[in-house]
Copies of this chain bind each other. A is one copy, B any other.
Amino acid sequence: MLRVMVVDDQALVRRGFALVLDNEPDIEVVAEAGTGVEAIEAARTQQPDVILMDIRMPEMDGLEATARILEAGDTACRVIILTTFDPDEYVFRALRAGASGFVLKDIPPEALVDAVRTVAEGGAMLAPGITQRLISQFAQKLGSERDLAERLQRLTSREREVLTAIAAGKSNAEIAETLFIGAATVKSHVSSLLSKLGLRDRAQAVVFAYECGLATPGEHDVGF
């Protein structure tokens, strides 16, 4: 039995969704909340599997509440964000907060229960337009990486190793140490790869590494 919580500040909307879901044999609405704070508390005590979360709410908005519930970590629940319109700005915050779904409130009832079951099983469900935007962004990013990635292929594997190390902010001496080779050798590799890639210095090499996808944001602790 899927345990579901519905969070919305408008009681009527909340009841509407709850009735639709409770009508399904395998779904049970175990909690309702009208504010973000209530939602956090209820999530802790009721441990629902799936939370339907409205964005616009007084006190604390749905994204903030989502982030806190998921950060707490004592619940293994998954969150579907509900919204009336189609707002670019919220999507990224929502995904960052850890939401597994982002659907518009005018979704047909069957699609809603589908969405609940889907995310409960570990999948994700986004409104079609949002999926489209996500894809565009992704395709664009992969696009620019393509031609640069072939330039990468002109490097030897060792040179790629060195480039990766450079992109991690390492100095020549540090690279020498981690690769168990002499500092002079590192310089050789650096010079060679800079020349092959048409770059001037290691700073440009770092840029190149990020632009071609050899390095990606979110991999490093920038503690250095």
Measured CB to CB, the residues of A under 8 A from B are: 92, 95-96, 98, 100, 118-119, 121-129, 131-132, 134-135, 137-146, 148, 166-169, 171, 198-208, 210-213, 215-218, 220, 222, 224
Contact = CB atoms under 8 A, between A and B. Distances in A.
Q: Is the interface of A mostly helix, strand, loop or mixed?
A: helix
A140 B143 CA distance: 20
B142 A96 contact: yes
Given A168-B207, A203-B166, A207-B222, A125 B124 contact: no
A131 B123 contact: yes
A138 B169 contact: no
Contacts of A201: 169, 171
A175 to B, nearest CB: 11
Contacts of A143: 96, 218
A123 B210 CA distance: 30
A134 B144 contact: no
